[in-house]
Chain A
């Protein structure tokens, strides 16, 4: 460690110091240095001892929680691909195929996103902040596997520049950047983001063919158009269903949720209230299903409420996107309302929106807009209490 540190300090640092040729790129050096080493900076004002936690460790914990979803997503991509072609291959082949499809998405997401972050940091002379480490992992996990990489790259550009940098970077953004990337792709390239062609890769090599009767639609796609699906709830829970790369396995999302809740890095309040909100809307739909207009909608509404929670991106959104502390509600009381409304709206949009059979993305983005309002009322209640106390006192005096 000492040798490496001496090398970095002695050989590399001088190139970036004041007056050196590469001084403009100091944030890049600083970013890499602080990735390798937690610097020997000491407390200069205030408390002399500090908690061992920092933003890097926090972000890293979230990434760790996402890794099961990523690995499963890779395998799932291969699994569905070979199923579609009617081929019986080994687990390893399935995983390998998926990895070849998904890894480039991860690389493009990080490459483009971090590139822009570095660029802005160099321009502004700021330190590089860790926010994108999680965003960069989330983006490929919420995209369909067949999305062309250049579209992915453009979505990342939009998310980072318009979603984050214009507001001042990490910690300043209003919307969840990863969801903004998805929203951009969805509205800019709708045919690549919905329908029944994009969720399962059906590229055929010579001598291969898609099996007869194959459908690449997701459960929600099926439900919205026909009111029925061929997948069982258990398959949906395990994640053996088509969907965005990382969103399918409720089981592994729960594992990630477990880590986030245990470490306290993801808010259990948002997760729990989100699930409650989704369940509430689901139950309401179950009750009113007989009165729906079309038979398809009747069938969609009649889906048992608990199954709504394991279909589509609901679980992934609630666990990994709604809990983003920057774009979400920041008061502990507010988190209950925030989470509940996300769940509630997600299921509502999912069932009512004919154009797009999933609601979690729009629900979270909408509630991102509303979060400051929720916090405003929570904080205002505290202010009112204080003013009332003062009024009582002055009246009594």
Chain B
């Protein structure tokens, strides 16, 4: 079995967030981590590899430094890494990203594609399902459990109060939740092996069956009007009043602020 896992290098929320003048994230200037949902997807792939035997290829699109997440994935146990990087792919929204990733994945053999549900920087949950549309394969999103049966996958699809058991023929795409599992740690030896391994680097020219009009910032229908870091709130106001007085006080405050 061949599994492709899409991972994204995202800003570490412990560090500060920095923006480019056009409102997109300045990814080069921020501390980064592997997106948590993607890491769960990778862990799911590695468990399938442990259980059934599989070759796991990790694909990421990003700046050259996104290679770090591929090395991390390989230090956890992934077999191969593909970095898709090109200036013309920068500033991509979900449409341009999914177009790019699908263009890269068309070069690979796969039975299963696993992506995270969503990335903590964009929070759209669109890229995984869009890739499946581009590749014309079924998608099962929000997986909380994955099993293989013959040429099919059986997935528990999570809802708030229940789950559905969905069976789909491979090849198909699954989006994983960070609640799916506890990702394994890397191993020290795995880290050094990962840095000795070759990473495949693809640019625009290597993408298969994609149109330039659907790539990068120019090919992104999403236009950012304004972006800002969250603003710290003030310390607030503390008052000690009797209940009746307190209610009047709060109501007055809300009126002043035109909340009521």
Q: Decide whether A and B assemble into one complex.
A: no
